[in-house]
Amino acid sequence: MRKLVLILLFVTCKIAIAQSFVLNGKDTINFTDVQGKRQGKWKIFNSMLNKPCYADDQVVEEGKYVDSKKTGQWKEYYCNKNVKSIITYENNRPNGYAKMYHDNGKIKEEGNWKNNRWVGEYKLYYENGQVQQQFNFNPSGKREGKQTYFHENGQVMIEGDWAEGKESGVLKEYYENGDLKSEKSFDGGNIDVAKTKTYEPKKPIAKTEEKLPAVKEAPPIVVQKTEKDNLGKPFTGEGYFKLYNSNKQISKDGTFSKNKLIDGKVYHYNADGILTRIAVYRDGKYVGDAVIEE
């Protein structure tokens, strides 16, 4: 009997607490229902997460729960209190408009996220606020149609068409002063080296334009001649090659000179063989990472 009374008292207290989180028809924060599920508006404080550089009473993220599942718009913050991301959730998974920020407060990337991939229009930004990449993804998450890369000064760097995630037709590259740098022909992602055209700049290029941000510095990619292409042909270090690792996964794809990757991509995998990063090189310099497409 005593045990039954204690149980009734516990349930009564839980109901009273639940009711106390609704005042004048308005939701308050951090409410857990009698079943232990999070409901309504929540603020996740660092005292609940113990993340480095945040104060215990600092809000790390906030949004709405329905049955302990994230729903609607959620905000996450840097430890300097600037917004880190604004992501739309559905049934505890990102699904909808998403926007990420640099820690200086300027936007980093934005677009629509659905089924674990970007779909539709997507933009990536430099820390100075200029657009870095402007892509369009089809419903399968593959790049489709016109795609554009930009220099930090706002000038177009690369523009061309993609089909099912691969370069298609003529891809044009530009110097930072806006002059045409090259024209390259692609078919299904494969370059036709014979049709490649390169141009010298018509106007002088300021030295300050040639400087890459420190975050983009990376050592040059030099390939050993022991690597093979997909046909087993030895790597000569000159011209276009698509190389594969011992797991028969693409490792490097582009134009080489003196064993050094000049224009192309380097594919990085984790210990399980899952692709984690695609580094892009232009003129022998690392210029950024490409989007990993499914």
Fill in the amino acid letter for 129: G
Residues facing 205 on adjacent strands = none
Q: Which residue has the tokens 């370069």?
A: 167
- Return the domain boundaries, the chain: 213-294
Tens digits of residue pLDDT in 134-186: 999 999 888 999 999 999 999 999 999 999 989 999 999 999 999 999 999 99
Q: Are 101 and 85 in contact (CB under 8 A)?
A: yes
- For 228-263, what is each residue's pLDDT tens digit? 554 556 778 888 888 888 888 888 988 888 888 888
Percent of the chain with pLDDT over 70: 79
Q: With 0.75 as the threshold, say if the pTM is over it.
A: no
Q: What is the mean pLDDT of the chain?
A: 81
pLDDT digit string, tens, across residues 184-211? 999 988 889 899 999 999 888 765 443 3
For tokens 């149980």, name the residue.
7
Q: Round to whole Å and give the CA distance between 267 and 249.
A: 9
pLDDT for 162 equals 93
Residue type, 160: G
Residues with Cβ within 8 Å of residue 89, at least 6 apart in sequence: 63, 69, 70, 71, 72, 73, 74, 95, 96
Looking up tokens 């870095």, which residue turns up?
132
Numbers of helices and strands, H then E, in the chain: 2, 22
Number of neighbours of residue 75 by Cβ within 10 angstroms: 16
Residue 141 CA to residue 112 CA, distance in Å, equals 10
Rounded Cα–Cα distance for residues 158 and 173 (Å): 4
Which pLDDT band holds residue 21 (cuts at 50, 70, 90)? very low
Q: Which residue has the higher pLDDT, 7 or 93?
A: 93
State how far the Cα of 229 lies from the Cα of 275, in Å rounded to an integer.
19
More confident residue, 166 or 219: 166
> If you search the block for the tokens 């674990």, which residue do you land on?
116
When pLDDT is averaged across residues 91-113 and rounded to a whole number, the result is: 92
